[in-house]
Chains A and B, each alone.
Chain A
Amino acid sequence: MQRQIPMFIVFVSGLTMIVDYFFPRVPYIQGAREIFLNWGRIALTFAMILGIMNLLMSNLRKVALRKAGWIYNVILLGSFALTFYFAVQYKMVPSGNTFITHKGTDMGSSGTMSFASKIFLDVYTPLSGTIFSLVAFFIASAAFRAFRAKNIEAILLLSSAIVVMLGSIPFGDSLFAWLGLEHILGHRNFSWLSTQIQQIPMSAAQRAINFGVAFGMVFMSIKILTGIDRSYFGGGGE
């Protein structure tokens, strides 16, 4: 019963969406769709409360037990309390990368930005950017490993990567001219070759993967809707 009821809800709500998509004139179907969408929104809101409770409880427990690195848990709890306090005090709601008041602006009467927005824009956004900037270094380290010419595939990868890199910077075409290759190959310089590699073999491979992904998605959806795959409920597929 514990599994049958959720399965039934999944099937009925999924079927409602399908019927609404194909037969939009079926009586009451749009109302039924709205009801299921509202159920989803309500469940999401309560799940958010669950998430916050889980975050607070697990961090408080680590602080109480003085687990390794508990000071970071204190910082997290402090930041949470501070942001929550200012957002509630000024009746702020998140909107994109900032907070707005219930009147639709995050500026006070003096024209200064609210403290809740300042926390987000002056503290979180730079920290987030710092983490993202690590990608640049990680690309270099990952490329270094990938481009080791240890077999035919790696050599092909390395050669195409060199061509694409040279084709993406002005230096590539200057080098092409300096080597005198334009007399032999004409306009087929590094930028041209780079475009060819990206437009023909690369997009062919990507489209092939996307085809597979699309079929996988459709069949996975049908399996979930019809209850063939229940492992995401914890049923282990059986």
Chain B
Amino acid sequence: MIKRGVFLFLFLSASPVFAGDEKPPMLAHPYVLVTMLLMIAILYTYLLTAKKGKLPFIRTLPGLKAIDEAIGRATELGKPVLYLSGLGDVDNIQTLAALSILSHVAKKAAEYDTPLIMPSMYSVTMVTAQEVIKEAHLRAGRPDTYNPDNVYYVSDEQFAFVAHTNGVMERMRPAANIYMGAYFGESLILAETGHATGAIQIAGTAETSQLPFFVVACDYCLIGEELYAASAYLSQDAKQMGSIKAQDVVRLIVLGFILVGSILETVNLPHYADFFQKVLGGG
């Protein structure tokens, strides 16, 4: 019975979709599925290696090293730290990465007894951030210093949020501004205002169009994927560090494909590129 079921499943998976057939195929996007399974296999190989105690080397990220320095500076000056998780809601993976970094920043700020201010553009992000910061205070052994009023909702409107945040920078003069997550047209307005107030600024985004603005206006910048690697780097957790290594291995494999493709295209052998075009086009 099971064998018949498996056979039927494989048969249906391999069956082409006929024209006029409105039913979706049994297996959609087979190449994507194979790639994803391959990635998961590589990830778990490196997770197991890391769990056995063989921690992979991850290069130093200056932007993350500077976070402690920035919080220390704020403590010395007796000023707060401003943290923004970007203009994405919690359904944006960059916001989740920003919340992961927030966990570390909030713990450090709690240890140094430095106020952490976080205006939020979305109410779900606000509620999640409140939980993250509360938990960080608990882990730092300072639950009494947690102030929920420092994490608050402002507005869903982009420039209303920016106007408020700029106002906070001008009035409260935070000693450190940390911008992590998804940013759009407002990135330079925030970073330049922060620069004008003399704050040490650390940014991190995967929005390539906004990266130049942050690179110019901030002291440190996490570029693209570094935002996603930050959580592993900060936690020094074996499993998370293993995942970074797995990511590098996948990148090397893809780099190999690109190199082979470039050489074959140069010598006018287009079948290889056509195959990938088909795979990517048809999913």
Contacts and interface: CB of A to CB of B under 8 A. Distances in A.
A39 interface: no
A5 interface: no
Main secondary structure of the interface of B (DSSP, over half): helix
Interface of B: 12, 23-29, 32-33, 36, 39-40, 43, 47, 91, 93, 96-97, 99-100, 103-104, 107, 122-124, 126-128, 131-136, 139, 149, 152-154, 157-160, 162-163, 167, 171, 185-186, 188-189, 191-192, 206, 208, 211, 213, 216-217, 223-225, 227-229, 231-232, 234-235, 237, 239-240, 243-244, 246-247, 250-251, 254
13 contacts: A25-B12, A25-B23, A43-B124, A47-B122, A51-B153, A209-B208, A217-B206, A217-B228, A222-B243, A232-B97, A232-B99, A234-B135, A236-B235
A24 interface: yes
A237 B229 contact: no
Contacts of A229: 100, 231-232, 240
Contacts of B232: 229, 237
Interface in A205-229: 206, 209-213, 215-224, 228-229
Given A127-B159, A209-B211, A237 B235 contact: yes
A162 to B, nearest CB: 16
B121 to A, nearest CB: 10
Give the most central of A139, A218, A219, A229: most B CB within 10 Å. A219
A142 B103 contact: no
A131 interface: yes
Interface in A68-125: 68-69, 72, 124
A236 B136 CA distance: 7
Interface stretch (A54-62, A165-173, A181-189, A190-198): A54-62
Given A22-B28, A47-B123, A213-B224, A221 B246 contact: no
B216 A142 contact: yes
A48 B157 CA distance: 13
A209 B160 contact: no
B172 to A, nearest CB: 10
Contacts of A47: 122-124, 127
A9 interface: no
A44 interface: yes
Contacts of B93: 217, 220-221
B153 A142 contact: no
A23 B231 contact: no
Contacts of A124: 157, 160
A236 B26 contact: no
A234 B103 contact: yes
Interface of A: 21-25, 40, 43-44, 47-48, 50-52, 54-55, 58, 61, 68-69, 72, 124, 127-128, 131-132, 134-135, 138-139, 141-143, 145-146, 206, 209-213, 215-224, 228-229, 231-238
B98 to A, nearest CB: 9
- Top-6 shortest CB links A-B: A51-B123, A237-B235, A234-B135, A216-B228, A216-B225, A212-B225
Contacts of B97: 220, 232
A237 B28 contact: no
B123 A48 contact: yes
A193 B27 CA distance: 48
A210 B208 contact: yes
A137 to B, nearest CB: 8
B49 to A, nearest CB: 14
B224 A231 contact: no
A232 B103 contact: yes
Contacts of A135: 185, 188-189
B247 A219 contact: yes
A128 B159 contact: yes
Given A54-B123, A238-B237, A132 B103 contact: no
Given A47-B124, A50-B127, A135-B188, A142 B134 contact: no
Given A24-B28, A128-B158, A215 B225 contact: yes
Nearest to A139: B188
Contact of B135 (A132, A213, A219, A235): A235
Given A22-B28, A47-B123, A55-B152, A138 B189 contact: yes
Contacts of B231: 229, 231, 237
A131 B99 CA distance: 27
Given A24-B28, A228-B243, A131 B163 contact: yes
Nearest to A51: B123
A43 B211 CA distance: 33
Contact of A213 (B127, B225, B235): B225
A206 B206 CA distance: 11
